[in-house]
């Protein structure tokens, strides 16, 4: 992928993360009716994330966070001269695999609800 | 002497020879209010240690040769007044990220190597033009760049950049600013080559993490982070370099 796209996606995902993180914390920790009633449970959370809309939001959150975080790690790695072109390519491949496995793992969790 | 108002400063100078540190030497100097760090160095050389090495030429902030680390911040010795730093101690060291030749003298070879990478000289689009290519003062190009043209190649931005601390390949703020000016120039004939170089992932604009250190230390007050951000934006949306 062209470096300009990495840079652009890093910014776009950063902006999305700001919104998704705040929404996530708000819904999980402050706005849940069950939580307010003191009864937050696995069942209550499963009820919410069984809904396709919440699944979509959470999967988007997962992918956006993974891209932003792992692309950030790659960006830091590329700042170091002692990491040569081959090592940089290996790091990129490892990060892609890590991202793919993590995304698959997270999405799988929704299928087993 | 009696009618002059003198302030006393302790000056701590990092010494070295042939790349080997010789520790920090301490001197006491008396400076008038308007005197500079460079004046302090001359006083040390005259009165305490004639072997102390440092560079200078114009003494008025025009040539860029006297750049050094002053209390941990890269700057020009001839433009920095100890009085304005507000402390009685001056810690002077060579510019970081550059090879030290002796005491406060560094080699700017790595800086100019990157400078040359962006093809800094003007390359006319029409090399056989019979008349000089004029840039009208009212043109968008002329209006957009006055301050960005003021670089004196002192290397302060290069030394202050956090990315230069780890990346030898990164072109650095001054070279990118130079490339920006050339790319923006409507008479330029080497845009393609320059754009390729600034767009390289390991050495071009993508290494800049918007730390703002470069612009903060630039003695010419060039907003280098703005330059690099414009270049990035221009690579994403060609044609939006100026905005
Ligand atoms: S851009 Fe500023 S700090 Fe950098 S070399 Fe030029 S004058 Fe010095
Ligand atoms: S001596 Fe020329 S800029 Fe300081």
Prediction ipTM score: 0.84
Distance of CA B198 to the CA centre of its chain: 19
Q: Is the dihedral of CA A80, A86, A87, A92 positive or negative?
A: positive
Which of B64, B106, B212 to probe ligand 1 with, by most ligand atoms within 8 A of CB? Answer: B64
Given CB atoms, is B97 within the 8 Å cutoff of chain A? no
How many angstroms separate the CA atoms of B22 and A35, rounded? 65
First to last CA, chain B: 55
Which chain B residues touch A8 with a CB distance below 8 Å? 236
Which of B64, B104, B108, B151 to probe ligand 2 with, by most ligand atoms within 8 A of CB? Answer: B64
Question: Looking at chain B from residue 123 to 182, which residues have their Cβ under 8 Å from any Cβ of chain A?
Answer: 163, 166-170
Query: What pTM does this model have?
Result: 0.90
Helix (H, G, I), strand (E, B) or coil at B61: coil
Which chain A residues touch B240 with a CB distance below 8 Å? none
Å from CA of A66 to ligand 2 middle:
49
Note whether A8 contacts B168, CB cutoff 8 Å: no
Burial B83-101 (b: 16+ CB within 10 A, else e): eebeeeebbbbbbbbbebb
Supply the mean pLDDT for chain B. Answer: 93
pLDDT, tens only, B18-72: 878 899 999 999 999 999 999 999 999 999 999 999 999 999 999 999 999 999 9
Note whether A8 contacts B236, CB cutoff 8 Å: yes
How many angstroms separate the CA atoms of B151 and B181, rounded? 11
B242/B89: higher pLDDT: B89
Residue B168: closest C-alpha in chain A: A81
How many angstroms separate the CA atoms of B136 and B124, rounded? 16
What pLDDT score was predicted for residue A38?
67
For ligand 1, atom 2, name the residue with the nearest CA: B218
Polymer length of chain A? 113
- Res A25 pLDDT > 60: yes
Cβ neighbours for B235, distance < 8 A, ≥ 6 positions apart:
A4, B195, B198, B199, B205
Q: Which domains does chain A have, with CATH numbers?
A: 3-111 (1.20.1300)
The nearest CA of chain A is from the CA of B119 a distance in Å of 21
Give strand pairing partners of B17: B20, B102
- Res B3 pLDDT > 80: no
Atom of ligand 1 nearest to the CA of B217: 3
Note whether B206 contacts A6, CB cutoff 8 Å: yes
Residue A88: closest C-alpha in chain B: B202
For ligand 1, atom 6, name the residue with the nearest CA: B151
Helices (H), B79-145: 82-85, 109-117, 140-144
What residue has token string 């890093």? A10
How many angstroms separate the CA atoms of B234 and B230, rounded? 6
CB B94 within 8 A of CB B100: yes
Q: Which domains does chain B have, with CATH numbers?
A: 6-106 (3.10.20.30), 109-236 (1.10.1060.10)
Summarize the confidence of residues A51-62 as an average pLDDT: 93
pLDDT, tens only, A90-105: 999 999 999 999 999 9
CB B153 within 8 A of CB B198: no
Please give the full DSSP string across A44-73, using - where no structure is assigned: HHHHHHTSHHHHHHHHHHHHHHHHHHHHHH
How many angstroms separate the CA atoms of B166 and B234, rounded? 26
Å from CA of B1 to ligand 2 middle:
27
Nearest CB among B199, B204, B207 relative to A79 is that of B207
Reported confidence tier of residue B147, pLDDT bands at 50, 70, 90: confident
CB B202 within 8 A of CB A79: no
Please give the full DSSP string across B165-189, using - where no structure is assigned: TT-SS---HHHHHHHHHHHH-TTBS
CB B68 within 8 A of CB B104: yes
- Res B1 pLDDT > 60: no
* DSSP type of residue A94: H
């Amino acid at each position: 992928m062209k470096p300009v796209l990495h840079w652009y996606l890093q910014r776009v995902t950063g902006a999305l993360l700001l919104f998704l993180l705040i929404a996530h914390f708000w819904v999980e920790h402050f706005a849940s009716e069950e939580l307010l009633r003191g009864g937050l449970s696995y069942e209550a959370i499963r009820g919410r994330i069984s809904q396709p809309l919440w699944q979509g939001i959470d999967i988007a959150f997962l992918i956006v966070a993974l891209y932003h975080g792992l692309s950030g790690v790659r960006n830091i790695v590329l700042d170091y001269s002692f990491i040569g072109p081959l090592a940089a390519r290996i790091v990129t491949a490892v990060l892609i695999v890590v991202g793919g496995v993590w995304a698959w793992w997270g999405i799988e969790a929704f299928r087993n609800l | 002497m009696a009618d002059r108002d003198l302030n006393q400063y302790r000056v701590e100078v990092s010494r070295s020879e042939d790349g080997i540190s010789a520790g920090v030497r301490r001197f006491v100097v008396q400076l008038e209010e308007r005197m500079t760090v460079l004046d302090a160095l001359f006083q040390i050389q005259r009165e305490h240690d004639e072997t102390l090495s440092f560079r200078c030429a114009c003494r008025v902030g025009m040539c860029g040769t006297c750049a050094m680390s002053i209390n941990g911040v890269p700057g020009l010795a001839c433009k920095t007044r100890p009085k304005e730093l507000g402390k009685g101690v001056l810690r002077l060291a060579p510019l970081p990220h550059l090879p030290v030749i002796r005491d406060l003298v560094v080699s700017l070879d790595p800086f100019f190597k990157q400078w040359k990478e962006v093809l800094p000289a003007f390359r006319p689009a029409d090399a056989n033009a019979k008349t000089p290519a004029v840039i009208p003062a009212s043109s968008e190009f002329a209006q957009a760049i006055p301050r960005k043209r003021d670089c004196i190649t002192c290397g302060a931005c290069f030394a202050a950049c956090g990315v230069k601390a780890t990346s030898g390949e990164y072109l650095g703020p001054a070279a990118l600013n130079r490339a920006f000016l050339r790319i923006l120039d409507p008479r330029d004939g080497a845009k393609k080559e320059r754009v390729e170089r600034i767009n390289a992932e390991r050495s071009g604009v993508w290494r800049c993490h918007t730390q703002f250190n470069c612009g903060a230390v630039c003695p010419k007050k060039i907003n280098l982070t703005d330059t690099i951000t414009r270049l990035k934006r221009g690579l994403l949306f060609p044609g939006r370099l100026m905005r």
